[in-house]
A = this chain, B = another copy of it.
Amino acid sequence: MKRPTLAAVAARAGVSKSSVSRVVNGEATVTPAIRELVIRAVRELGYVPNGAARSLATQRTNAVAVIVSDPPKGLSSDDPMFSAVVRTVSRVLESAGMQVTLMLAGSAESRLRAEQFVAAGHVAGVMLVSMHGADPLPASLARMGFPMVAFGRSSGGLPYVDNDNTGGAAVAVKYLLDQGRRRIATITGPLDMIASQDRLTGYRETLRDTGRRSIVAIGDFTRISGYEGMRQLLEDDPALDAVFAANDLMAIGALRALREAGRRVPHDVAVVGFDDIEAALYTAPPLTTVRSPMEDQAAATAELLLSVFNGAPGTPVIMPHRLIVRESA
Protein backbone atom coordinates (compact mmCIF):
# COMPACT_ATOMS: atom_id res chain seq x y z
CA MET A 1 0.00 0.00 0.00
CA LYS A 2 2.30 2.75 -1.17
CA ARG A 3 1.31 6.17 -2.29
CA PRO A 4 0.78 6.54 -6.03
CA THR A 5 3.57 8.16 -8.01
CA LEU A 6 3.49 10.41 -10.96
CA ALA A 7 4.36 7.43 -13.14
CA ALA A 8 1.30 5.59 -11.87
CA VAL A 9 -0.89 8.52 -12.78
CA ALA A 10 0.69 8.67 -16.23
CA ALA A 11 0.07 4.97 -16.80
CA ARG A 12 -3.51 5.24 -15.66
CA ALA A 13 -4.21 8.25 -17.84
CA GLY A 14 -2.37 6.76 -20.76
CA VAL A 15 -0.10 9.76 -21.22
CA SER A 16 3.53 10.56 -20.48
CA LYS A 17 4.96 11.57 -17.14
CA SER A 18 5.76 14.98 -18.58
CA SER A 19 2.17 15.67 -19.34
CA VAL A 20 1.12 14.72 -15.87
CA SER A 21 3.78 16.96 -14.43
CA ARG A 22 2.60 19.83 -16.57
CA VAL A 23 -0.98 19.46 -15.53
CA VAL A 24 -0.11 19.10 -11.88
CA ASN A 25 1.99 22.24 -12.02
CA GLY A 26 -0.65 24.18 -13.83
CA GLU A 27 1.24 24.85 -17.02
CA ALA A 28 -0.84 26.41 -19.75
CA THR A 29 0.45 24.42 -22.69
CA VAL A 30 -1.70 21.35 -22.30
CA THR A 31 -4.52 20.18 -24.49
CA PRO A 32 -7.82 20.19 -22.64
CA ALA A 33 -8.39 16.56 -23.50
CA ILE A 34 -5.16 15.45 -21.88
CA ARG A 35 -5.63 17.72 -18.94
CA GLU A 36 -9.00 16.14 -18.34
CA LEU A 37 -7.58 12.63 -18.49
CA VAL A 38 -4.85 13.51 -16.05
CA ILE A 39 -7.10 15.25 -13.61
CA ARG A 40 -9.35 12.26 -13.49
CA ALA A 41 -6.48 9.87 -12.91
CA VAL A 42 -5.10 12.09 -10.17
CA ARG A 43 -8.40 12.06 -8.44
CA GLU A 44 -9.00 8.37 -8.81
CA LEU A 45 -5.62 7.52 -7.41
CA GLY A 46 -5.56 10.25 -4.78
CA TYR A 47 -2.24 11.39 -6.08
CA VAL A 48 -0.23 14.01 -4.19
CA PRO A 49 3.25 14.91 -5.48
CA ASN A 50 6.14 13.78 -3.34
CA GLY A 51 7.71 16.81 -1.77
CA ALA A 52 11.22 15.46 -1.39
CA ALA A 53 11.43 14.41 -5.02
CA ARG A 54 10.16 17.74 -6.15
CA SER A 55 12.61 19.66 -4.00
CA LEU A 56 15.44 17.54 -5.22
CA ALA A 57 14.56 18.05 -8.86
CA THR A 58 13.86 21.75 -8.65
CA GLN A 59 16.50 22.61 -6.10
CA ARG A 60 13.89 24.69 -4.38
CA THR A 61 11.69 24.44 -1.33
CA ASN A 62 8.79 26.40 0.00
CA ALA A 63 9.63 26.00 3.64
CA VAL A 64 11.06 28.70 5.84
CA ALA A 65 12.62 28.33 9.25
CA VAL A 66 11.42 30.47 12.10
CA ILE A 67 14.16 30.31 14.67
CA VAL A 68 13.24 31.45 18.14
CA SER A 69 15.96 32.01 20.62
CA ASP A 70 14.50 30.29 23.59
CA PRO A 71 16.07 29.60 26.93
CA PRO A 72 16.37 25.84 27.51
CA LYS A 73 13.64 25.56 30.09
CA GLY A 74 11.58 28.50 28.95
CA LEU A 75 11.83 31.28 31.46
CA SER A 76 8.21 32.15 31.15
CA SER A 77 6.50 29.42 29.28
CA ASP A 78 3.44 31.52 28.54
CA ASP A 79 5.18 34.44 26.89
CA PRO A 80 2.50 36.33 24.97
CA MET A 81 5.14 37.57 22.57
CA PHE A 82 5.93 34.05 21.48
CA SER A 83 2.35 33.23 20.85
CA ALA A 84 1.52 36.40 18.97
CA VAL A 85 4.62 36.35 16.85
CA VAL A 86 4.60 32.69 15.93
CA ARG A 87 0.94 32.62 15.09
CA THR A 88 0.95 35.76 13.05
CA VAL A 89 4.07 34.82 11.15
CA SER A 90 2.67 31.38 10.42
CA ARG A 91 -0.54 32.82 9.17
CA VAL A 92 1.11 35.25 6.79
CA LEU A 93 3.68 32.80 5.52
CA GLU A 94 1.17 30.03 5.08
CA SER A 95 -1.13 32.16 3.02
CA ALA A 96 1.83 32.88 0.79
CA GLY A 97 2.15 29.13 0.31
CA MET A 98 5.15 28.62 2.57
CA GLN A 99 5.57 26.05 5.27
CA VAL A 100 6.88 27.10 8.64
CA THR A 101 9.46 25.01 10.38
CA LEU A 102 9.76 26.16 13.94
CA MET A 103 13.09 25.80 15.65
CA LEU A 104 14.01 26.72 19.19
CA ALA A 105 17.61 27.75 19.46
CA GLY A 106 18.36 28.20 23.11
CA SER A 107 21.23 25.84 23.73
CA ALA A 108 24.45 25.42 21.80
CA GLU A 109 23.21 22.04 20.72
CA SER A 110 19.94 23.30 19.32
CA ARG A 111 21.74 26.15 17.64
CA LEU A 112 23.94 23.68 15.82
CA ARG A 113 20.90 21.70 14.79
CA ALA A 114 19.34 24.81 13.37
CA GLU A 115 22.44 25.64 11.39
CA GLN A 116 22.67 22.16 9.97
CA PHE A 117 19.05 22.19 9.08
CA VAL A 118 19.35 25.38 7.13
CA ALA A 119 22.58 24.23 5.54
CA ALA A 120 20.88 21.00 4.46
CA GLY A 121 18.79 23.08 2.11
CA HIS A 122 15.53 22.34 3.85
CA VAL A 123 14.42 25.94 3.77
CA ALA A 124 14.35 28.85 1.37
CA GLY A 125 14.91 31.45 4.05
CA VAL A 126 15.06 32.19 7.72
CA MET A 127 13.35 34.43 10.21
CA LEU A 128 15.10 35.10 13.48
CA VAL A 129 13.05 35.95 16.55
CA SER A 130 14.18 37.42 19.83
CA MET A 131 17.90 37.11 19.43
CA HIS A 132 20.11 37.96 22.32
CA GLY A 133 23.12 40.09 21.66
CA ALA A 134 25.79 37.49 21.96
CA ASP A 135 24.04 34.97 19.80
CA PRO A 136 26.41 33.64 17.14
CA LEU A 137 23.60 32.28 15.01
CA PRO A 138 22.85 35.32 12.82
CA ALA A 139 26.46 35.60 11.77
CA SER A 140 26.95 31.95 10.91
CA LEU A 141 23.69 31.77 9.01
CA ALA A 142 24.45 34.99 7.19
CA ARG A 143 27.70 33.48 6.02
CA MET A 144 25.72 30.83 4.21
CA GLY A 145 24.03 33.49 2.16
CA PHE A 146 20.40 32.61 2.80
CA PRO A 147 17.57 35.12 2.63
CA MET A 148 17.12 36.11 6.22
CA VAL A 149 15.26 38.68 8.27
CA ALA A 150 14.90 39.41 11.94
CA PHE A 151 11.96 40.20 14.15
CA GLY A 152 13.43 43.13 16.00
CA ARG A 153 16.76 44.73 15.34
CA SER A 154 19.66 42.44 16.07
CA SER A 155 23.35 42.20 15.57
CA GLY A 156 24.70 41.16 12.20
CA GLY A 157 23.09 43.85 10.13
CA LEU A 158 20.26 41.83 8.66
CA PRO A 159 16.98 43.31 7.47
CA TYR A 160 14.51 43.66 10.29
CA VAL A 161 11.24 45.14 11.45
CA ASP A 162 11.37 46.79 14.81
CA ASN A 163 9.42 49.10 17.01
CA ASP A 164 10.69 52.47 18.01
CA ASN A 165 11.67 51.20 21.41
CA THR A 166 13.69 54.22 22.37
CA GLY A 167 10.97 56.62 21.32
CA GLY A 168 8.30 54.58 23.04
CA ALA A 169 10.15 54.57 26.32
CA ALA A 170 10.73 58.30 26.02
CA VAL A 171 7.02 58.91 25.55
CA ALA A 172 6.24 56.87 28.63
CA VAL A 173 8.72 58.70 30.81
CA LYS A 174 7.69 62.09 29.48
CA TYR A 175 4.13 61.30 30.38
CA LEU A 176 5.12 60.45 33.93
CA LEU A 177 7.08 63.68 34.20
CA ASP A 178 4.10 65.63 32.91
CA GLN A 179 2.01 64.07 35.63
CA GLY A 180 4.38 65.58 38.14
CA ARG A 181 6.20 62.41 39.08
CA ARG A 182 9.67 63.14 40.37
CA ARG A 183 11.33 59.86 41.23
CA ILE A 184 10.81 57.61 38.29
CA ALA A 185 12.35 54.15 38.37
CA THR A 186 12.57 51.52 35.66
CA ILE A 187 12.67 47.75 35.43
CA THR A 188 14.59 46.67 32.37
CA GLY A 189 14.48 43.62 30.14
CA PRO A 190 17.51 41.36 29.74
CA LEU A 191 20.32 43.69 28.84
CA ASP A 192 21.74 41.48 26.14
CA MET A 193 18.67 42.16 24.04
CA ILE A 194 18.67 45.23 21.89
CA ALA A 195 15.02 45.97 22.60
CA SER A 196 15.84 46.14 26.30
CA GLN A 197 18.81 48.37 25.71
CA ASP A 198 16.77 50.72 23.57
CA ARG A 199 13.98 51.01 26.09
CA LEU A 200 16.50 51.69 28.81
CA THR A 201 18.15 54.32 26.64
CA GLY A 202 14.83 56.05 26.05
CA TYR A 203 14.21 56.11 29.77
CA ARG A 204 17.70 57.31 30.66
CA GLU A 205 17.96 60.07 28.13
CA THR A 206 14.56 61.50 28.85
CA LEU A 207 15.32 61.63 32.52
CA ARG A 208 18.76 63.05 31.99
CA ASP A 209 17.32 65.86 29.88
CA THR A 210 15.42 67.02 32.93
CA GLY A 211 18.32 66.56 35.28
CA ARG A 212 16.74 63.67 37.14
CA ARG A 213 18.63 60.56 38.06
CA SER A 214 17.92 57.02 36.92
CA ILE A 215 16.76 54.33 39.33
CA VAL A 216 17.24 50.98 37.67
CA ALA A 217 16.40 47.37 38.43
CA ILE A 218 17.32 44.71 35.93
CA GLY A 219 14.67 42.20 34.94
CA ASP A 220 14.25 39.67 32.16
CA PHE A 221 10.77 40.34 30.76
CA THR A 222 9.05 37.83 33.06
CA ARG A 223 6.38 38.60 35.63
CA ILE A 224 8.46 37.31 38.47
CA SER A 225 11.39 39.50 37.53
CA GLY A 226 9.05 42.49 37.52
CA TYR A 227 7.82 41.50 40.95
CA GLU A 228 11.31 41.08 42.33
CA GLY A 229 12.59 44.17 40.58
CA MET A 230 9.84 46.24 42.13
CA ARG A 231 10.56 44.92 45.58
CA GLN A 232 14.17 45.78 45.19
CA LEU A 233 13.37 49.27 43.93
CA LEU A 234 11.08 49.88 46.87
CA GLU A 235 13.85 48.92 49.17
CA ASP A 236 16.48 50.99 47.38
CA ASP A 237 14.33 54.08 47.14
CA PRO A 238 11.17 53.98 49.25
CA ALA A 239 10.26 57.46 48.09
CA LEU A 240 9.90 56.62 44.41
CA ASP A 241 6.61 57.69 42.91
CA ALA A 242 6.63 56.04 39.50
CA VAL A 243 7.99 53.06 37.64
CA PHE A 244 8.39 52.35 33.96
CA ALA A 245 8.51 48.61 33.28
CA ALA A 246 10.10 47.62 29.98
CA ASN A 247 7.21 45.28 29.24
CA ASP A 248 3.71 44.63 30.49
CA LEU A 249 4.49 41.27 32.01
CA MET A 250 6.97 42.92 34.35
CA ALA A 251 4.50 45.73 35.03
CA ILE A 252 2.05 43.07 36.14
CA GLY A 253 4.67 41.70 38.49
CA ALA A 254 5.38 45.21 39.77
CA LEU A 255 1.70 45.77 40.43
CA ARG A 256 1.63 42.75 42.65
CA ALA A 257 4.70 43.88 44.58
CA LEU A 258 3.18 47.31 45.10
CA ARG A 259 -0.07 45.79 46.26
CA GLU A 260 1.74 43.61 48.75
CA ALA A 261 3.73 46.61 49.95
CA GLY A 262 0.52 48.52 50.53
CA ARG A 263 1.22 51.19 47.94
CA ARG A 264 -1.74 52.46 46.00
CA VAL A 265 -1.54 52.67 42.21
CA PRO A 266 -1.49 55.26 40.83
CA HIS A 267 -1.93 57.40 43.93
CA ASP A 268 1.36 56.49 45.58
CA VAL A 269 3.18 55.00 42.65
CA ALA A 270 2.32 55.31 38.98
CA VAL A 271 3.04 52.33 36.73
CA VAL A 272 3.58 52.31 32.99
CA GLY A 273 4.24 49.20 30.94
CA PHE A 274 5.20 48.49 27.38
CA ASP A 275 3.61 46.41 24.59
CA ASP A 276 -0.07 46.70 25.40
CA ILE A 277 -0.72 43.00 25.61
CA GLU A 278 -4.28 41.97 26.20
CA ALA A 279 -3.64 41.29 29.87
CA ALA A 280 -2.96 45.01 30.40
CA LEU A 281 -6.69 45.62 30.25
CA TYR A 282 -7.39 43.20 33.07
CA THR A 283 -5.04 44.35 35.77
CA ALA A 284 -6.27 46.37 38.75
CA PRO A 285 -6.04 49.17 37.90
CA PRO A 286 -5.84 48.76 34.12
CA LEU A 287 -2.35 49.37 32.88
CA THR A 288 -1.12 52.51 31.18
CA THR A 289 1.24 51.27 28.53
CA VAL A 290 2.99 51.92 25.25
CA ARG A 291 1.37 50.14 22.37
CA SER A 292 3.77 48.39 20.03
CA PRO A 293 1.51 45.98 18.25
CA MET A 294 3.55 42.83 18.11
CA GLU A 295 1.20 41.28 15.65
CA ASP A 296 1.63 44.04 13.11
CA GLN A 297 5.34 43.85 13.59
CA ALA A 298 5.25 40.09 13.11
CA ALA A 299 3.17 40.36 9.97
CA ALA A 300 5.47 43.03 8.60
CA THR A 301 8.49 40.87 9.32
CA ALA A 302 6.95 37.95 7.48
CA GLU A 303 6.19 40.18 4.54
CA LEU A 304 9.69 41.53 4.59
CA LEU A 305 10.97 38.00 4.22
CA LEU A 306 8.65 37.38 1.31
CA SER A 307 9.85 40.54 -0.38
CA VAL A 308 13.46 39.52 0.12
CA PHE A 309 12.60 36.29 -1.68
CA ASN A 310 11.48 38.44 -4.55
CA GLY A 311 14.78 40.19 -4.70
CA ALA A 312 13.94 43.30 -2.71
CA PRO A 313 16.82 44.88 -0.82
CA GLY A 314 15.22 44.29 2.58
CA THR A 315 15.42 47.71 4.13
CA PRO A 316 14.72 47.90 7.84
CA VAL A 317 11.29 49.01 8.94
CA ILE A 318 10.50 50.82 12.16
CA MET A 319 6.94 50.66 13.38
CA PRO A 320 5.36 53.55 15.23
CA HIS A 321 4.22 53.36 18.85
CA ARG A 322 1.61 55.10 20.90
CA LEU A 323 0.94 55.70 24.57
CA ILE A 324 -2.25 54.12 25.85
CA VAL A 325 -3.34 55.89 28.99
CA ARG A 326 -5.31 53.84 31.48
CA GLU A 327 -5.70 54.11 35.20
CA SER A 328 -2.36 52.92 36.47
CA ALA A 329 -0.64 56.25 35.74
Contacts and interface: CB of A to CB of B under 8 A. Distances in A.
Interface residues of A, number: 60
Contacts of A70: 87, 91
Complex copy number for this chain: 2
Interface string A19-58: 0000000000000000000000000001011111101100
Nearest to A80: B78
B80 A120 contact: no
A226 to B, nearest CB: 9
A223 B103 contact: no
A77 B83 contact: yes
Nearest to A118: B48
Interface stretch (A211-219, A239-247, A274-282, A308-316): A274-282
Contacts of A91: 70, 72, 74, 104
B86 A77 contact: no
Interface stretch (A7-15, A200-208, A252-260): A252-260
B278 A77 contact: yes
Interface of A: 1, 3, 46, 48-53, 55-56, 61, 63, 66, 70, 72, 74, 76-80, 82-84, 86-88, 90-91, 94, 99-104, 110, 113, 116-117, 119-122, 145, 223, 227, 252-253, 255-256, 259, 277-279, 281-282, 284, 295
